[in-house]
């Protein structure tokens, strides 16, 4: 698969200039809606409803993902949409094995806390989506990949974020399942070599969501202060305009 134009002739400067349009700020209401989607997006684990996600809504969410930023306009993503209970059951079994392995690596005092988090939405959500990255879509290199070859993976992660924010605006919850061995998932879904698994997502309607991230509410972790993460000009240098009391 390629996204190279069939016409290899040099672009026409006047035609390109006509494609430039206004880039003014959004209205107050539009801007507030964007920030609301960002700040209220949650990683949903156990609040999914059984109602199916209609096809047209699913396509809107996937189209938002497909409009994610990609280095060199490489668009390396694919989306495996799963409703089949047998397929999702096999994925759940793989998840369960990985979750047990992860429990055994935790300090004993954290194991009960971990088990209480109810991390799996694989079977409860009516829809699962596996987002992959075709690392050979444009050969070994491509615009923007010569010096940073992992930009294809980063671009695919941007597509996941677009999907997540669009889903939030539609009242659809998304949960990212990362506790899984890639080789098991690759075998279950028939994913060929050269295709990287970037995200396994549980997707479905929700009628409630945590006001704060669930792992913060349940005291697994807390949000780091933004000021501690901002440096000036070089790593570790405090930024006076931000870090000042």
11-15, 46-50, 126-130: the lowest-pLDDT one? 11-15
Mean pLDDT of 195-218: 90
144-170 residue pLDDT tens: 777 888 999 999 999 999 999 999 999
User: pLDDT grade, residue 243 (50/70/90)?
Assistant: low
Count of beta carbons in the 10 Å neighbourhood of residue 92: 19
Written in H, E and C, the secondary structure of the chain is: CCCCCCCCCCCCHHHHHHCCCCCCCCCHHHHHHHHHHHHHCCECCCCECCCCCCHHHHHHHHHHHHCCCCHHHCCCEEEEEECCHHHHHHHHHHHHHHHHHHHHHCCHHHHHHHHCCCCCCCCCCCEEEEEEEECCECECCCCCCCCCCCHHHHHHHHHHHHHHHHHHHCCEEEEECCCCCHHHHHHHHCCCCCEEEEEEEEEEEECCCCCCCHHHHCCCCCCCCHHHHCECCCCCCECHHHHCC
85-122 residue pLDDT tens: 999 999 999 988 887 777 667 677 666 665 655 556 89
Mean pLDDT of 180-206: 95
User: pLDDT grade, residue 3 (50/70/90)?
Assistant: low
88-92, 152-156, 217-221, 230-234: the lowest-pLDDT one? 217-221
Q: Which fold has domain 43-209?
A: NADH Oxidase (3.40.109)
**pLDDT, greater one: 113 or 69:** 69
User: pLDDT grade, residue 2 (50/70/90)?
Assistant: low
The ranges assigned to domains in the chain are 43-209
CA–CA dist 225, 223 (Å, integer): 6
């Amino acid at each position: 698969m390629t996204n190279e134009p069939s016409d290899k002739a040099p672009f026409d400067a006047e035609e390109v200039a006509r494609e430039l349009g206004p880039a003014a700020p959004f209205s107050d209401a539009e801007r507030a809606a964007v920030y609301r989607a960002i700040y209220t997006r949650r990683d949903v684990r156990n609040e999914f409803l059984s109602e199916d996600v209609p096809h047209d809504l699913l396509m809107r969410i996937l189209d938002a993902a497909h409009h994610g930023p990609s280095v060199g306009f490489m668009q390396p993503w694919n989306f495996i949409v799963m409703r089949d209970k047998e397929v999702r059951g096999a994925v759940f079994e793989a998840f369960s094995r990985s979750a047990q392995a992860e429990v055994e690596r935790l300090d004993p005092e954290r194991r009960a806390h971990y088990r209480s988090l109810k991390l799996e939405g694989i079977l409860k959500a009516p829809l699962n989506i596996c987002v992959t990255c075709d690392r050979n879509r444009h050969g070994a290199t491509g615009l923007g990949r010569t010096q940073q070859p992992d930009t294809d993976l980063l671009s695919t992660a941007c597509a996941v974020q677009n999907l997540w924010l669009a889903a939030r605006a539609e009242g659809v919850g998304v949960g990212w399942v990362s506790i899984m061995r890639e080789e098991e998932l690759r075998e279950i879904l028939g994913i060929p070599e050269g295709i990287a698994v970037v995200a396994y997502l549980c997707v479905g309607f929700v009628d409630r969501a945590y006001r704060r991230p669930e792992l913060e509410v349940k005291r697994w972790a807390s949000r780091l202060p933004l000021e501690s993460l901002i440096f000036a000009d070089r790593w570790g240098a405090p930024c006076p305009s931000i870090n000042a009391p």
